[in-house]
Amino acid sequence: MVIVQFLTVVLLTALDQITKLWAVKSLRPFGEIPIIEGVFNLRYVENTGAAFSILQGKTILLTVIPIVACVFMVYILLTKKISSRLGSWGITLILSGALGNLIDRIFRGAVVDMFDFELINFPVFNVADICVTVGAVLFFIYAIFFYDKAEKKDE
Residues labelled catalytic:
113, 129
Q: Phi/psi of residue 116, each to 5°?
A: -125, 105
Cα–Cα distance measured from residue 72 to residue 5, given in angstroms and rounded to the nearest whole number:
15
If we measure between CA atoms, which residue out of 6, 8, 15, 27 comes closest to residue 100?
15
